[in-house]
């Protein structure tokens, strides 16, 4: 694979990573069960825990993580607003209608490496999914709703060689008379520029796969494209990149002429 790009200097602003787990009962999480699951499945251990009946805070590899139980469902308006984009979970409104409470999970600022921090967040979510009566995960900042089993299935492949970007970034798809389009929504959480493909003759499936692959490359290699560069899947393929105001999302984006 050939990508014409330039690495940045690695200095990035740390952001809070936030997500919610929908629970099918009103029971709070069992912290001891969570810790046992996490320590049994992952190399890094939970350290310096403080907790009460509804919340806990601790560190993992120097990152501060907080979990709080809210004995009420996530407001239905929030779920419904995101569900209209949730092509990966088309029965989400039915499947989560009766959820009784939720967990708020956050990784606070600390490390300058957002990928490392998202990995910690993902592992924490997985241990909570395995030790609670969970329905799925809601990440409003990325317009993501992911069912429990799908989240766990994708996360188990996470490694230094594979980033589960489906759990971190939403890939929007649009159809119009002028062609098919797609966009990323979530790269900004990694201090990266969102990307768009506009009015393409490629299929929606191919557009999504291309955006997923290039997003993974950007995160794995910590690169930032520049206006006028090219990218491609071979030495001969040169897909032009332009930087301008977003068409499908707010702010400026990189347009990929795919």
pLDDT, tens digit (0-9, with 9 covering 90-100), for 212-222: 999 999 999 99
Average pLDDT, the chain: 92
The mean pLDDT value for 69-95 works out to: 95
Residues facing residue 68 across a β-bridge = 55, 104
pLDDT recorded at residue 109: 78
pLDDT recorded at residue 232: 82
pLDDT above 60: residue 6: no
Half-sphere exposure of 23 (CA within 13 A, CB side): 23
pLDDT above 50: residue 2: no
Residues facing residue 19 across a β-bridge = 105
pLDDT recorded at residue 246: 96
Bridge-based pairing of strands 252-256 and 239-245 is antiparallel
Residues facing residue 223 across a β-bridge = 7
pLDDT recorded at residue 111: 67
The mean pLDDT value for 51-73 works out to: 96
**Phi, psi dihedrals of residue 61, rounded to the nearest 5°:** 50, 40
Question: Angle between the 148-155 and 114-131 helix axes, to the nearest 10 degrees?
Answer: 130
Percent of the chain with pLDDT over 70: 94
User: Contact at 8 Å (CB) between 230 and 169?
Assistant: no
Provide the token pair at 115: 């990928």
The mean pLDDT value for 220-239 works out to: 89
User: Which of the two residues, 255 and 237, has the higher pLDDT score?
Assistant: 255
User: Which of the two residues, 110 and 19, has the higher pLDDT score?
Assistant: 19
Confidence band of 74 (pLDDT split at 50, 70, 90) = very high
Confidence band of 100 (pLDDT split at 50, 70, 90) = very high
User: pLDDT tens-digit profile of 128-175?
Assistant: 999 999 999 999 999 999 999 999 999 999 998 999 999 999 999 999
User: Contact at 8 Å (CB) between 130 and 156?
Assistant: no
User: pLDDT tens-digit profile of 171-203?
Assistant: 999 999 999 999 999 999 999 999 999 999 999
pLDDT above 80: residue 110: no
Please give the Cα distance from 249 to 164 (Å, whole number): 23
pLDDT above 80: residue 7: no
pLDDT recorded at residue 58: 97
């Amino acid at each position: 694979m050939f990508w014409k790009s330039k690495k940045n200097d690695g200095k990035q602003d740390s952001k809070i990573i936030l997500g919610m787990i929908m629970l099918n009962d009103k029971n709070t999480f069992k912290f001891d069960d969570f810790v046992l699951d996490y320590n049994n499945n992952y190399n890094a251990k939970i350290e310096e825990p403080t907790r009460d009946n509804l919340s806990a805070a601790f560190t993992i590899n120097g990152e501060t993580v907080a979990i709080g139980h809210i004995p009420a469902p996530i407001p239905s308006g929030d779920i419904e607003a995101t569900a209209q984009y949730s092509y990966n979970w088309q029965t989400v409104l039915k499947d989560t209608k009766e959820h009784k409470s939720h967990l708020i999970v956050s990784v606070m600022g600390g490390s300058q490496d957002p990928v490392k921090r998202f990995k910690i967040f993902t592992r924490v979510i997985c241990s909570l999914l395995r030790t609670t009566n969970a329905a799925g995960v809601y990440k409003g900042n990325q317009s993501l709703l992911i069912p429990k089993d799908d989240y766990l299935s994708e996360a188990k492949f996470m490694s230094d060689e594979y980033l589960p970007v489906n759990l971190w970034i939403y890939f929007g798809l649009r159809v119009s008379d002028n062609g098919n389009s797609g966009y990323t929504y979530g790269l900004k959480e990694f201090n990266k520029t969102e990307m768009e493909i506009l009015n393409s003759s490629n299929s929606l499936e191919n557009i999504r796969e291309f955006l997923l692959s290039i997003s993974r490359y950007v995160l794995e290699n910590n690169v930032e494209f520049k206006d006028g560069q090219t990218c491609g899947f071979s030495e001969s393929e040169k897909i032009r990149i332009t930087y301008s105001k977003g068409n499908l999302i707010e702010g400026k984006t990189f347009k990929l002429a795919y």
